[in-house]
Amino acid sequence: MAARTNTAPRSQSSIPAEAIFLRGEPDQTLQARLIAGIVEFLLSHRIPSGTRMPGTRALAAALGLSRMTVTLVYQELVARGYLDSRPRSGFQVARDIPALRVGLGGANDAAQEVRWGEWLKGGVERKRVIRKPADWRSYPYPFIYGQGDPGLFDHAAWRDCARRALSAREFAELAFDLLTRDDPMLIDYICTRTLPRRGIMARPEEVLITVGSQNALFLAIDILARPDRLAVLEEPGYPDFVETLRRSDAPLQWVPVDSDGLDPASLPKGTRLVVATPSHNIPTGATMPLQRRLDLLARAETEDFLIVEDDYDFEMSYLAPPLPALKSLDREGRVIYLGSFSKSLFPGLRIGYLVASAPMIAAARETRAIMLRHPPTHLQRTTAHFLALGHYDAHVVRLREEMKRRRNEMIDALSGTDFSIAGTARDGGASIWLAAPEGVDSAMLADYARRVGVLIEPGAVFFETPPSPCRFFRLGYGSIPVDRIRPGLRQLQRACDEMRGFPSGRERRGRADDLG
């Protein structure tokens, strides 16, 4: 009887081991990251069936893994249908990869024929975007603002609140489509606890839950901005304010920010809308004093314009009590107030709120209903429990204590560098606005710093017309442990020295105590 032979077509090509990389998050297992890397490679490059995979020994050597890890991954991918195992031939790409069984080739080819330039008239590309590496956690010194430290968050308490929100009684209440309404428990807490701490008294019909303050900003601008209404912004300021307004085709004008924030006296004639951060300017941290706040409101009343106030970081007031929110001083309903729990809890939460007069909130509610109906009710209720049970207050206390430690460490360590403080919040905050030495461009400095594991935020993106070179940059300390701040700043100084062609900081300045 003739022996059976393997009639599968033999591959004429193989994948080099150097073409495959680990993917996924750093905290995942090596097997999970290798699986993600191989699947991504096979799908993105549309590898033909029968193509030989790298040998287990070769791939293990290329990635610094054990051969057993690679073997187990290959076996798992065979079970999932991505690879085939051939006797004496090793592993090959399967004939029918699961994600490609629907014939994506034709659809992809057709998509290339669409003239997107015509369909996307006007373009959607933003001119000013804050770039943050997706893998920022893999860097030893991530001075990135807006990212939280999971170690400071009470995960057990949050899990308990989520469990409460999933109870049979509450699930029955939350499972229905709320249409344009919000979770009454969360609205009640915001009206009775959160807003009064800022001096703001609001009724439920004057509050709208949003998908973070970014969504609140979009709604406000979508309703209020028009081509015949001059909008004024801070310079420097938050790029997303500008980019959201650009989409409205409203005429824009920028007003310089000084050490006291925006100066109402500098507003141009014909202003109809002002977007500002009175408590903590982005990025300088400048705080608008009480008299300027009163002057701004008086001018708004006299000249009939509205103000969008982003109070994104008011919980981070650990050096001095925060000044009253602009909204709390508003007598005519001219201030549209943006708030968020994402900054103080964790960025991925995306729960914020919009506070304004009832007609404005009614319009925003209708606009939101067209976009997304309402934010997920389960997240709203979980957040409400976290607030109502006192977990939020305890969390903020811990957060303030830790941010104070990190800020003190940052300022002390900066004294041993060539960087000067160009701006910082009077009552705390979670970032510092710095200036590099004259002639140093912060974007180029960021490139040098990244090579040695330091992430900073170059300052040009915060300006509509940045200085050239732009030596300003922002350092956040919410995402970096306190014990890494000082060595991180040493590395940043060394990167700056290398960029300018200087010898090491210790040799040049003789500061062995600071830079050794």
Name the 3-class secondary structure at 249: coil
Residue 122 is predicted with a pLDDT of: 64
User: Are the C-beta atoms of residues 312 and 340 closer than 8 Å to each other?
Assistant: yes
Which residues partner with 276 through β-bridges? 309
141 and 484 Cβ atoms separated by less than 8 Å: yes
- 8 A C-beta contact, residue 202 and residue 195: yes
All residues at 6 or more sequence positions from 303 whose CB lies less than 8 Å from its CB, including other chains:
271
**Could you give the CA distance from residue 301 to residue 106 in angstroms, rounded to a whole number?**
60
Query: Which among 235, 218, 213 has a CA at the least distance from the CA of 461?
Result: 235
**Distances from the Cα of 487 to the Cαs of 126, 237, 363, 444, 484, in angstroms?**
35, 29, 51, 20, 6
In the 3-class helix/strand/coil scheme, how is 74-131 assigned residue by residue? HHHHHHHCCEEEECCCEEEECCCCHHHCCCHHHHHHHHCCCCHHHHCCCCCCCCCCCC
Residue 36 near residue 23 (C-beta atoms within 8 A): yes
Quick one: 188 exposed, middle or buried, by C-beta within 10 A (0-12, 13-18, 19+)?
middle
DSSP class of residue 137 equals: G
Token digits for 72?
């187990």
Positions of the chain with pLDDT lower than 70, given as ranges: 1-12, 98-112, 121-124, 504-516
Tokens of 242: 């500008």
Q: Which residues contact 27 (CB under 8 A, 6 or more apart)?
A: none
Handedness of CA 236, 238, 243, 248 (dihedral sign): negative
**Antiparallel, parallel or unpaired: β 454-455 and 141-142:** parallel
C-alpha span between 300 and 206 (Å, rounded): 20
Residue 132, CB half-sphere, CA atoms under 13 Å: how many? Answer: 14
Instruction: Look at the chain and count its residues.
Output: 516
Q: What angle do CA 402, 404, 408 make, to 5 degrees?
A: 120
What is the rounded distance in angstroms from the CA atom of residue 75 to the CA atom of residue 188? Answer: 54
In whole angstroms, give the CA distance from residue 126 to residue 231: 18
In the chain, where are the structural domains located?
17-100, 136-151+394-515, 177-389
Closest to 153 in 3D by CA, of 316, 473, 392: 392
Residue keyed to tokens 């000013």: 128
Strands 141-142 and 207-210: unpaired
Query: For residue range 292-329, what is the model confidence (pLDDT) as tens digits?
Result: 999 999 999 999 999 999 998 888 889 998 899 999 99
The answer to whether 298 and 267 are in contact (CB under 8 A) is no
Q: Which residues contact 328 (CB under 8 A, 6 or more apart)?
A: 198, 199, 200
Instruction: Please report the pLDDT score of residue 103 as a whole number.
Output: 47
Please report, for the chain, how many H helices and E strands are present, in that order: 18, 16
Q: Which CATH number fits domain 136-151+394-515: 3.20.20.140, 3.50.50.60, 2.40.10.120, 3.90.1150.10?
A: 3.90.1150.10
Helix 391-414 and helix 155-165: axis angle, to 10°? 150
Question: What's the Rg (C-alpha) of the chain?
Answer: 27
CATH number belonging to domain 17-100 = 1.10.10.10
List, for residues 111-123, the tens digit of each pLDDT value: 467 877 777 766 5
Fold designation for 177-389: Aspartate Aminotransferase; domain 2 (3.40.640)
Question: Which residue(s) pair with 90 in the sheet?
Answer: 86
Q: Residue 332's closest CA among 380, 384, 368, 297?
A: 297
State if pTM tops 0.85.
Answer: no
Which has the closest alpha carbon to 261: 434, 426, 65?
426
Helix axis angle, 391-414 to 482-500, nearest 10°: 40
| Whole-number Å distance between alpha carbons of 431 and 500 | 26
> Do 82 and 38 meet the contact criterion of CB atoms below 8 Å apart?
yes
